[in-house]
Structure 1
Amino acid sequence: MSFRTTTKRILIVATLLSALTLTGLFAAACGEEEPSTTSTTAAPQTTTTAAQTTTTAAPTTSSTEPPLSASLSGAGATFPEPLYVEWIGEFQSLHPKVTINYQGIGSGGGIEQFSKLTVDFGASDAPMKDEEIAAAEAASGAKVLHIPTVFGAVTLAYNLPGVTELKLDPDTLAGIFLGEITKWNDAKLTALNPGVTLPDQPIQVVHRSDSSGTTSIFTGYLTKVNKTWAEKVGKGKEVPWPVGVGGQGNDGVAAVVKQQAGSIGYVELSYALEAGLSVAALRNQAGNFVTPSLASTSAAAQGAQFPEDLRFSVADSPNPEAYPICGATWILVYDQMKDPAKAAALKAFLTWALTEGTPIAEELGYAPLPEDLRAKALAKVEQISAK
């Protein structure tokens, strides 16, 4: 982890401790901890407008209770990986006898590892399908729980030297990724961007090469807004891409876009910020061109309906202030674990993340859960126990 990230974490912890002391919640924060991991360094958040949230204090741990002690493993989505790295580090500093190793291998890989019981928890930006849940529950003898952690924006990061602002609408975006719009100075693009000099240059599409929840969010949006895309490609963690080159993980796509002029790809917001990439404004359902930010991501979750199993989508929100390609990311757990120590540690970590971890999420550009959804997620966490 870089010195910059370490320093940022220290500042975050200092700020949290000051705030918690003033509000009388310091005792609650002392009951949690965060482990080390080998994941990517989290990107800085440059958005200055943040949605206002209320942080619920984590349960206080009695001084007579033994300290948490367990080694946990998890794997899955790269979409929230920068945040999970920070959460894990902070939690382990509070609970030195807990270690958590998280590997960002993509949502598809995370679901596979979770279903095979080779990790203690999975992570995915796409909810598990009914058949995936049935197979996992048959193998584990326990119930699968979907615990949403944050919302994030899937940005359209591009590399066009000299072009700092770009507007797209659903049809031009679909046309680019279908291979129907092949030049940056295509008439459809220039019509959306008056006053912007778009180059006579081929468009290089960059997509994910692995099974990806970020891909599921992106293709789910395109399937909803463009009939041709729905008929020819469809949605999923993996799709038959008509054009483009692949990158492994969000960081891989960001790296390809950064290296190749004329390229465009889809990545979670923090990866675009970390790579210093420009991101397009996308016309939303209300007709407004909106750039991805903490505020526009939070707006996408406002007014959404959340079913009992907490599997949902917020793509193409009708909110006039919402960025249209947003999604939640989930931690996947079983309601019954074989090891009581692991169950206690995982339960404590998730409770801490959903409460005390909120400021860290906002710092990195992830939108915290609305209060009604946070309450439902915490209720799911309470179901975790040992067999």
Structure 2
Amino acid sequence: MKTSLSKGVLGLCLGAMLGCPPAAVADGIRGAGSSAAAPAYRLWADEYLKAGGEALDYDPVGSGAGMARIRQRQVDFGASDVMAPRSELARDGLVMFPTVVSGIVPVVNLRRLGGALKLSGDVLARIFLGEITVWNAPEIAALNPGLSLPAEPIRVVGRSDGSGSTHHFSDYLSRVSPAWKARFGVASKHAWPPEVIAVKGSSEVSKTVRATPGAIGYIDYAYVAQDSLTPVQLRSAAGRYLSASPESFRNAVVNSRWFSHGDFSEGLVQMPGEGAWPITMGTYVAMPKVAADTARATRALRFFVWAYGRGDALARQVKFVPLPEKVQASAFRELSGVTGKNGEPIGMTAVSVLVR
């Protein structure tokens, strides 16, 4: 298979794909998982349907629940913000590939600061550990000379469900704070202390932070833009304070093994390089390597092939970063490994139409 794809050829091939009658118009595609990625999948679904594709029923239940559903074959694909280890994928008979890139952003509900709040990784960890409990604490004030920090309690908001957002957030804190690593470590779900406001899903994090004066939470960047949340600047691995942005997420990707080796097993947290957002994350799709229902798997694959070809601009609309072409080619390699139960290469068939 070729390692890069002409967008012009891709467009013609995709048009031909969608010009064919869907395998089962009345029976759409079923997916579940990442709530962080839901804005991208919803927009793709709307446009795919307009283009003549099947309907997508996507349930944003969180990465952990999405992976549980695909392991139990309750959906056509599971969506997760955490790449499963290869040993688990082999055990569960799954293939997994990235779709888009975003980042986790600390957000606050503070009025009249007079500028962007800066936090180091160590100070952020100490806030979530409950060691720094007021906004005008000396540790925060030292990083923010000139800001009007209120003398009010910090209200920490965390995820109660298993989520990729929590995984990447805690991965970052584990890299910058030995105390966090020792107490919580890297996990998709934590047993938060009673003072943490624990809520389910990205939408509830956004809602709770907006409704709670003095709150701080962590959430996918798409919700920051969508819900007009107030983001925090973080110190990058290169030592510079950055604002989260699609450009800073892309900088993390091009400094990663995704880009250099086509290896998705490593995350995008604390990537080196100027301007790389420290809590960048990919979001992924898992599908059975051997499809029990060839028609259903074909419909799901056709959707993602379309999304790779036509979804870049749509992803940008909801503040996600499309995969660079070099990375996308590696993703096609994983997707092409899906076969039918009789060995028919349905993944390769879906991809091969792009390179004829």
Amino acid at match of 1:71: G
CA distance in 2, matches of 1:198, 1:293: 25
- Give the corresponding residue for 2:212: 260
User: Are 1:162 and 2:162 matched, yes or no?
Assistant: no
Structure 2 residue aligned with 1:101, among 57, 61, 64?
Answer: 57
Amino acid at match of 2:317: E
What is the CA-CA distance between 1:66 and the residue it aligns to? 4.5
- Give the corresponding residue for 1:219: 170
Contact between 2:11 and 2:310, CA under 8 Å: does it hold in 1? Answer: no
What is the CA-CA distance between 1:245 and the residue it aligns to? 0.7
Contact between 2:85 and 2:265, CA under 8 Å: does it hold in 1? Answer: no
Amino acid at match of 2:139: K
Structure 1 residue aligned with 2:246, among 294, 314, 319?
Answer: 294
- Give the corresponding residue for 2:38: 81
The alignment partner of 2:142 has SS state of: helix
Structure 1 residue aligned with 2:78, among 106, 114, 122?
Answer: 122
CA distance in 2, matches of 1:130, 1:311: 8
User: Are 1:111 and 2:62 matched, yes or no?
Assistant: no
What pairs with 1:147-296 in structure 2 (closer than 5 Å)? 147-163=97-113, 164-242=115-193, 243-296=195-248
What pairs with 1:17-56 in structure 2 (closer than 5 Å)? 26-31=11-16
What pairs with 1:324-343 in structure 2 (closer than 5 Å)? 324-343=278-297
CA distance in 2, matches of 1:67, 1:229: 50
What is the CA-CA distance between 1:91 and the residue it aligns to? 1.1
Structure 2 residue aligned with 1:322, among 255, 263, 276?
Answer: 276
CA distance in 2, matches of 1:172, 1:133: 36
CA distance in 2, matches of 1:297, 1:158: 21
Contact between 1:284 and 1:316, CA under 8 Å: does it hold in 2? Answer: yes
Query: % of aligned pairs identical?
Result: 32
User: Are 1:363 and 2:303 matched, yes or no?
Assistant: no
Contact between 2:157 and 2:196, CA under 8 Å: does it hold in 1? Answer: yes
TM-score (norm 1): 0.81
Cα deviations by residue, 1:214-254 (Å, 9 ceiling, x for unpaired): 10010011111111100011111112324511121111101
TM-score (norm 2): 0.87
What is the CA-CA distance between 1:25 and the residue it aligns to? 6.2
What is the CA-CA distance between 1:129 and the residue it aligns to? 3.9
CA distance in 2, matches of 1:25, 1:369: 15
- Give the corresponding residue for 2:49: 92
CA distance in 2, matches of 1:94, 1:381: 22
The alignment partner of 2:210 has SS state of: helix
Amino acid at match of 1:376: S
CA distance in 2, matches of 1:107, 1:74: 11
Contact between 2:10 and 2:309, CA under 8 Å: does it hold in 1? Answer: no
Contact between 2:104 and 2:221, CA under 8 Å: does it hold in 1? Answer: yes
User: Are 1:133 and 2:118 matched, yes or no?
Assistant: no
CA distance in 2, matches of 1:111, 1:25: 30
**Structure 2: segments with no counterpart, 5+ residues:** 1-6, 342-356
The alignment partner of 2:303 has SS state of: helix
Amino acid at match of 2:103: A
Please give the root-mean-square deviation of Cα atoms over the aligned residues, in Å: 1.9
Cα deviations by residue, 1:35-57 (Å, 9 ceiling, x for unpaired): xxxxxxxxxxxxxxxxxxxxxxx
The alignment partner of 1:30 has SS state of: helix
Contact between 2:11 and 2:309, CA under 8 Å: does it hold in 1? Answer: no
CA distance in 2, matches of 1:288, 1:256: 30
The alignment partner of 1:179 has SS state of: coil
Pair 1:347–1:332, CA change in 2 (3 A) = same
Cα deviations by residue, 1:188-213 (Å, 9 ceiling, x for unpaired): 10010011010000000000011111
**Structure 1: segments with no counterpart, 5+ residues:** 1-19, 32-60, 138-143
- Give the corresponding residue for 1:377: 331
Cα deviations by residue, 1:97-118 (Å, 9 ceiling, x for unpaired): x222110000010011111111
Number of residue pairs aligned between Structure 1 and Structure 2 = 329
CA distance in 2, matches of 1:216, 1:67: 37
